[in-house]
A = this chain, B = another copy of it.
């Protein structure tokens, strides 16, 4: 991670984590365990950091954005709790998923509690636009996930459909994080829009890199088994590109097996190997770069502050991250 981000995180992470802990401690003890579990798994706290940075870069006073920022982490954690059940994932960031330890029902409900807690924190600002934007983001996130599920093993999925899905399931929450930060800073509409665009393009780039990493990261780095998307039938850019470059008969054969979930372990390993050999994960990163460029363009509308520099470094970090 870039030094400038690490330094900023060094200041902010303890305060973010303390706030998350305080709010979690106030919850009824019966719903706390899965919530503590998902928060303790760590993660990058990228969304709350973005809210803090956008708010301060655009003139918000020191701690004004902290509850708002943390509400973004609660929303994100809620989606993780629900996702774990959707994916039937046994691992999350290398640790056992909450629903394996605490039960499926408890985990769904803990997610609901987090969604509501986030809303309550946001309501505290007395600015209905924040609730509006975050509600919209949650709706779009869930809709993106439904579309992703609906398109599992759908080899007809186009690049555009794929982009629509990842924008939904990932980018809108990044967008909301940045836009809400701008709103409580009280900046001009044009700058709010710039924050919105910065978050949106950063979010798309983030997910593209995530999808690239799925094909390159060994399990001990990413916390997920390598090639998980291929095994789960998720079409992402590397796999779409792989199918597209096959000669027609071979393509038809493999797509057919993929659709029916009939690829052997050997075929799966071969595809994973070829995707790497063809440099398709790297090409996916290149696609991410074009979104990072657009995010950087949006950032030019921000006044020149130390926070803008951190936001700029985050673009490089998201593009180059290895896990």
Contacts and interface: CB of A to CB of B under 8 A. Distances in A.
Most buried by B among A82, A111, A143, A149: A143
A120 B117 CA distance: 15
Interface string A114-128: 011101101111111
A135 B109 contact: no
A297 interface: no
Main secondary structure of the interface of A (DSSP, over half): helix
A106 interface: yes
Contacts of A135: 116-117, 119-120, 123
A62 B103 CA distance: 45
| Copies of this protein, total | 2
A128 B132 CA distance: 11
A111 B30 CA distance: 22
B128 A108 contact: no
Nearest to A81: B108
Interface residues of A, number: 47
A150 B117 CA distance: 21
Nearest to A85: B108
A86 interface: yes
A304 interface: no
A31 interface: yes
A110 interface: yes
A229 to B, nearest CB: 16
A5 B132 CA distance: 34
A122 to B, nearest CB: 7
Given A120-B132, A124-B128, A124-B132, A146 B115 contact: no
A-B residue pairs, 4 tightest by C-beta:
A123-B131, A120-B135, A116-B138, A86-B105
